[in-house]
Structures are given as structure tokens and as C-alpha cells.
């Protein structure tokens, strides 16, 4: 399994609902096993620069690649990119434990 985590901050706080809505469209892409967009709870005083987190799980690299190749992904990127300040992404593989 691959975990895909992306952190976003907004250029302007008033754009957060539009950014979140744009990211939530990614949930319509069928290649993930789990998908969510959440607001940062801001419980860690050193992590307040992040406004939104996208978390998704994929069966394998092929599923992640198919997700990123979907036209919905491109449309979401085009809608969100002008509104965001930062975007940090991390993908890591979890070994199969069965």
C-alpha cells in the first residue's frame, strides 16, 4: 500500500472553502482505497502553516499513477494552484503484512 499525503496552505484565508472544494473533487477518482481532505487541527504550535491535508491510500504505484493521470486530478490542480501558497507532498510504501 502507498500512503499519499499532501499539505496545503492558502494565500488568503477567505479562499480556504474554494481550495477545500477543489481538493475534494479528487475523491471522485476511483483509483484510491481511502481518500479524505481535512482541515489542520492546529494542535501542534510548530505546524500552523498548513491549512489543509489530503490523505489517500493506494493499492500500489500503478493505482497512484492512474490517480494522477485522471483528468479530474488536472482540473483540481488548475483550480487550486492559483489559490494556494505552499504544497508539500509525501508518498511512502507500507509493506504488505499478510
Q: State the number of CA atoms in the 13 A half-sphere of 62 facing the CB.
A: 1
What does the block give as the cell for 76?
483540481
43-82 per-position pLDDT tens digit: 888 768 899 999 999 999 999 999 999 999 999 999 999 9
Q: Which CATH number, 3.40.190.290, 3.30.360.10, 3.40.30.10, 3.30.70.100, labels domain 2-41+62-93?
A: 3.30.70.100
- pLDDT tier, 98 (very low <50, low <70, confident <90, very high otherwise): low
Q: Where are the alpha helices (DSSP H) in 16-69?
A: 16-24, 61-69
Query: What average pLDDT does the structure give for the chain?
Result: 95
From CA 87, how far away is CA 10, in angstroms rounded?
9
Contact at 8 Å (CB) between 90 and 1?
A: no
Amino acid at each position: 500500500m502507498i500512503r499519499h499525503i499532501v499539505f496545503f496552505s492558502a494565500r488568503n484565508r477567505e479562499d480556504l472553502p474554494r481550495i477545500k472544494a477543489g481538493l475534494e473533487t479528487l475523491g471522485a477518482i476511483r483509483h484510491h482505497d481511502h481518500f479524505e481532505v481535512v482541515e489542520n487541527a492546529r494542535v501542534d504550535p510548530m505546524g500552523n502553516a498548513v491549512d489543509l491535508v489530503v490523505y489517500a491510500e493506494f493499492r500500489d504505484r500503478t493505482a497512484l499513477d492512474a490517480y494522477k493521470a485522471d483528468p479530474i486530478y488536472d482540473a483540481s490542480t488548475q483550480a487550486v494552484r492559483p489559490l494556494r501558497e505552499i504544497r508539500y507532498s509525501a508518498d511512502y510504501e507500507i509493506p504488505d503484512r499478510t
